[in-house]
């Protein structure tokens, strides 16, 4: 795919990208796709998927109490537990506001470890990374932001999101559609969004503006971006997913080039 070469114009030292179709076919790769990058918040979809595996394995239920009083696994996944961004303190009643929270994902991992009796990183490696062959991926820090991976490994994960093998497709459908609809909140880096729609660990594109995906991304697009200069999106209407990893912190450069890049990829896919 010629559009993938646009990453060569990004103001970064290193970048790599790939596009994978819903049937698992890799449509194109560019850059060093075996290079390890820090994922920052692209860690969260990996943590969320691990949590959903734990739900299907009976370790917890989405309604299992976790986090602050009145909060559940579902609330933590959907950023509606009321926990602050980085502080482990409640700022709102569960289910009333969309407060993007790293602390919430840390408490989610703690709850999974408590209920499974297995350290979260070990559970994740055995339940998610090993079955998908993600041999270059590891959680080395916070389950909210502390993973490192490669484009090649995340292609396997993006293929799983589109054609699930580890989860019931109905579970993935629930996770990638709006949970607690109508709640407003701040999308980090892009300001207040009304509504600020999320699924279970996945941000939903909907009609948000501004946004890190493209102007032509479908409202059903879901995924995540990270402050380390990373993103993964899945556009069900396009029947494809895109992973891009870079080594420059998110900033105005990313807000400018990512949407343009996404629109170029979508245009080539539909040509």
The single-letter DSSP state of residue 177 is S
Contact in structure between 143 and 108 (CB atoms under 8 Å): yes
Write b or e for each residue in 182-218: b if 16 or more Cβ atoms lie within 10 A of its Cβ, otherwise e: ebebebeeeeebebbbbbbbbbbbbebeebbbbebbe
Confidence band (pLDDT; 50, 70, 90) for 33? Answer: very high
| Domains of the chain by start residue, with CATH | 2-270 (3.40.710.10)
pLDDT at 118: 97
pLDDT in tens, 49-60: 999 999 999 999
* Residue with tokens 């980090």, as numbered in its chain: 188
Confidence band (pLDDT; 50, 70, 90) for 162? Answer: very high
The total of other beta-carbon atoms located within 10 Å of residue 69's CB is: 9
pLDDT at 193: 94
Rounded to two decimals, what is the model's pTM?
0.97
The total of other beta-carbon atoms located within 10 Å of residue 83's CB is: 28
pLDDT in tens, 259-268: 999 999 999 9
Contact in structure between 265 and 11 (CB atoms under 8 Å): no
């Amino acid at each position: 795919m010629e559009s993938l070469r646009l990453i060569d114009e990004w103001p970064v030292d290193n970048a790599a990208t790939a596009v994978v179709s819903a049937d698992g076919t890799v449509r194109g790769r560019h850059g060093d796709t075996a290079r390890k990058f820090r994922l920052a918040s692209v860690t969260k979809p990996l943590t969320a998927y691990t949590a959903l595996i734990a739900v299907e394995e009976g370790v917890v239920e989405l309604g299992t109490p976790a986090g602050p009083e009145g909060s559940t696994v579902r609330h933590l996944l959907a950023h509606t537990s009321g926990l602050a961004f980085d502080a482990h303190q409640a700022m709102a009643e569960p289910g009333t506001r969309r407060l993007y929270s790293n602390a919430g994902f840390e408490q989610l991992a703690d709850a999974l470890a408590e209920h499974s009796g297995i350290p979260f990183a070990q559970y994740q490696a055995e339940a998610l990374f090993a079955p998908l062959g993600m041999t270059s991926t590891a959680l080395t820090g916070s389950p909210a932001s502390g993973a490192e991976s490669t484009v090649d490994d995340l292609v396997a994960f993006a293929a799983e999101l589109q054609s699930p093998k580890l989860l019931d497709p109905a579970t993935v459908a629930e996770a990638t559609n709006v949970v607690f609809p109508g709640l407003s909140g701040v999308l980090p880096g892009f300001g207040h969004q009304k509504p600020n729609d999320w699924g279970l660990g996945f941000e939903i594109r909907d009609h948000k503006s501004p946004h890190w995906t493209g102007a032509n991304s479908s409202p059903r697009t879901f995924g995540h971006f990270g402050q380390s200069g990373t993103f993964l999106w899945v556009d069900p209407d396009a029947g494809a997913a895109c992973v891009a990893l870079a080594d420059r912190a998110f900033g105005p450069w990313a807000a400018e080039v990512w949407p343009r890049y996404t629109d170029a990829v979508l245009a080539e896919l539909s040509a």
